[in-house]
A and B are shown apart, each in its own frame.
Chain A
Amino acid sequence: MTELTTATRLPDDGTRLRARLAQAAGGLPEPSARQRRARRRAAVTGLFRHILLIAFGLIMLYPLLWMLASSLKPSELIFREPGLIPTEIDLSNYTDGWNALVNPFSTYLLNSALVVLGSVIGNLVACSMAAYAFARLEFRGRNLWFAIMLMSIMLPIHVVIVPQYVLFSELQWINTFLPLIVPKFLATDAFFIFLMVQFFRGIPKELDEAARLDGCGHVAIYLRIMLPLALPALATTAIFTFIWTWNDFFSQLIFLTRPDMYTVPVALAAFRDSTGETSWGSLFAMSIVSLIPVFLVFLFGQKYLVKGIATTGIK
């Protein structure tokens, strides 16, 4: 009743309220001339908004599309035509770029793939184990350890990189993939522990209690209940690990110095340094090749990416 009196005092919102009441009562309101006008105006501003959003999106993506187009053009045309559609398609940039360095580019792709694969498996196994302990087990000092884990997320890698380098070179691990993979099996990407703890906490406790009554231990509960139910969180972890590791440059630059052990980013940087400004066409071609895996993961894993960012705020 009070709502209605407010509505009569404020005629503008009154119509909306009355329309809502009519909808609630089951019948759709007859569109008045005024409502039709408002709707048309909304359609026009909506269209306007779409045009602006698309234009903005094009500006955002233009450099990427231009790089793709340029990689298909003969080098001398790249700087003469800024347009996106190449007048002639020329794949020689790709064949030139592929063989421009000491090793064929497939070597670097394979190296990157191995590092990524190891990192994904390591993160999935080690982070989910730690997350299970933090989410489900009672142990002394849990809150303290949890806080330490959270703080380690924010730790810049630069604070530990020098001693890590010393440690790994003592172990003769420089120019192997071990310095890049082994830490993942020790759950050093604490971001994913946090992500999975958040997810595990959302799984009803009754499920593990029921399993415990049936005689399951923690290992069985973790393997047979938590992991299958946490597939979305595992997918998010796998996808982000893939993209981050594929793009990672700093640690790969430090730990991999022998050309045949280069990963894609290190090889690209070396390519850029060795050819300078002369062969943009093949440099672009290999850059495109290096972006394709990330783009594919983005295309097929979008759902998990968006969910992952929304729940934890990771990049």
Chain B
Amino acid sequence: MSTTDIPRRAGVPARRERRRSRAVSRGDGRAAALFLAPWFAGLILITAGPMVASLYLSFTDYDLLTPPEWIGPENYTRMFADPRFLNALQVTFTYVLVSVPIQLALSLALALVLDKGLRALPFYRSVYYLPSLLGGSVAVAILWRQVFGADGLLNQFLAVFGIEGQGWVSHPDYALGTLVVLNVWTFGSPMVIFLAGLRQIPQMYYEAASIDGAGRVRKFVTITIPLLSPIVFFNLVLQIIGSFQSFTQAYVVSGGTGGPADSTMFYTLYLYLKGFGSLDMGYASAMAWFLLLIIGGMTAVNFLASKYWVFYDD
């Protein structure tokens, strides 16, 4: 558009004006096609196409070597008769439902302590945040196996107090617990989000409440909690989705087996073993789609429940 157009535009009839604006949007449309071309290709080739393909494969018997054979919903019915699958489901739900609330409570508590205007805040924030950057790595999973091993760091500490520990990672009752601890250990990233959220609460509210005689507890319950609840919700949704897909930790700590006695058989680990271990790709695809359903379902439940406890200030 050039500057000389502007005075003329005021006089043009409405229809021409409309055509003009459509032309403008078509011009943008061409640029948009250019800028979105890589994303669009990715959406079709890497995301949406494979999604549809895996939905199809989930109704077939497929081992990569021979063409897929349509078997209807058999993979899904097999899943619910497969004790190892049901166990994996239970292990993963236990892991998520135990570790996520502990992790969020801890991160919120520390964010509240750190938010008291400490000058050393950036230092503490970094120290607490570092584990969440490293927590997903193979190296830390290797370390974890050692810390909770029979002659590992934890048992060395317990020995100081005369307690004789055991091989935590090799005991079916405790192995999952060590993975829960590992997930809790990465509380730093929700903590940083909480800290940012606490900064958003106007100081004015607290001052007004003090003037009205509210104590610290009262202020926390009536100001901090409601105004922070959207952030709690956000962290909750994100951590549930993320934790449900945990793979590396279980794979490395159990040596790729999900053991001992399938006690660390995460959903995604079982999916991997089925698909890429025994080349039961149809079954793995069915598991993947069921995973999508679970995650979608949990997120939907979260959103529905949020009506009752999340406070939106508008």
Contact = CB atoms under 8 A, between A and B. Distances in A.
Interface of A: 3, 6-7, 10, 12-13, 16-17, 46, 49-50, 53, 56-57, 60-64, 66-67, 79, 82, 125-127, 129-130, 132-133, 137-140, 142, 145, 148-149, 152, 154-167, 169, 183, 185-188, 193, 212-213, 217-219, 222, 243, 246-247, 249-250, 253-254, 264-266, 268-269, 272-273, 277, 280, 283-284, 286-288, 290-291, 294-295, 298, 302, 305-306, 309-311, 313-315
B138 A139 contact: no
Given A160-B54, A250-B248, A287-B142, A61 B36 contact: no
Interface in B259-302: 268, 271-272, 275-276, 281, 284-285, 287-289, 291-292, 295, 299
Contacts of B46: 160, 164, 183, 186, 188
Which 8 residue pairs are nearest across A and B when measured between Cβ atoms?
Answer: A186-B42, A287-B139, A310-B196, A163-B50, A163-B53, A160-B50, A139-B32, A133-B35
B252 A272 contact: yes
B245 A294 contact: no
B156 A79 contact: yes
B12 interface: no
A126 B42 contact: yes
A156 B136 contact: no
A155 B252 contact: no
Interface string B185-201: 10001001101100000
Contact of A57 (B38, B39, B124, B137): B124
A301 B284 CA distance: 38
B201 to A, nearest CB: 14
B241 interface: yes
A60 B128 contact: yes
Interface stretch (B86-94, B145-153, B218-226): B145-153
Nearest to A139: B32
Nearest to B160: A82
A249 B247 contact: yes
18 contacts: A60-B128, A63-B144, A132-B35, A138-B24, A156-B245, A159-B292, A162-B53, A163-B54, A188-B42, A212-B1, A218-B28, A247-B136, A250-B272, A291-B140, A306-B129, A306-B192, A309-B189, A309-B192
Contacts of B110: 56
Nearest to B47: A152
Contact of A3 (B3, B211, B268, B281): B211
Interface string B107-135: 00010011010101010111111111110
Contact of B138 (A13, A169, A290): A290
B193 A309 contact: yes
Contacts of A138: 24-25, 28-29, 32
Contacts of B134: 64, 247, 291, 294-295
A139 B37 CA distance: 14
Interface of B is mostly: helix
Contacts of A133: 31-32, 35-36, 39
Contact of B38 (A142, A185, A294): A185
Contacts of B196: 309-311
Given A82-B157, A247-B138, 5 more contacts: A159-B51, A253-B251, A265-B137, A284-B142, A298-B133
Nearest to A189: B42
B109 to A, nearest CB: 10
A158 to B, nearest CB: 4
Given A139-B28, A148-B43, A247-B136, A159 B64 contact: no
Nearest to A265: B138
A313 B153 contact: no
A208 to B, nearest CB: 12
Contacts, number: 274
Given A164-B46, A284-B143, A309-B192, A82 B28 contact: no
A213 to B, nearest CB: 7
A61 B130 contact: yes
Given A66-B153, A158-B288, A309-B192, A186 B32 contact: no
A79 B151 contact: yes
Contacts of B299: 154
Given A53-B113, A60-B131, A164-B50, A186 B38 contact: yes
Contacts of B289: 159
Nearest to B62: A162
B49 interface: yes
B41 interface: yes
B143 A186 contact: no
Contacts of A142: 32
B45 interface: yes
B70 interface: no
B166 interface: no
A291 B137 contact: yes
A254 B276 CA distance: 8
Given A126-B38, A315-B132, A158 B271 contact: yes
B193 A269 contact: no
B285 A162 contact: yes
Determine which residue in B36, B138, B288 has the highest number of CB atoms from chain A within 10 A of its CB, and name it: B138
A268 B256 CA distance: 13
Contacts of B157: 82
Nearest to A271: B142
B147 A63 contact: yes
Nearest to A67: B143
Contact of B126 (A66, A129, A164, A302): A302
B36 A249 contact: no
Contacts of A284: 142-143, 146
A56 B188 CA distance: 13
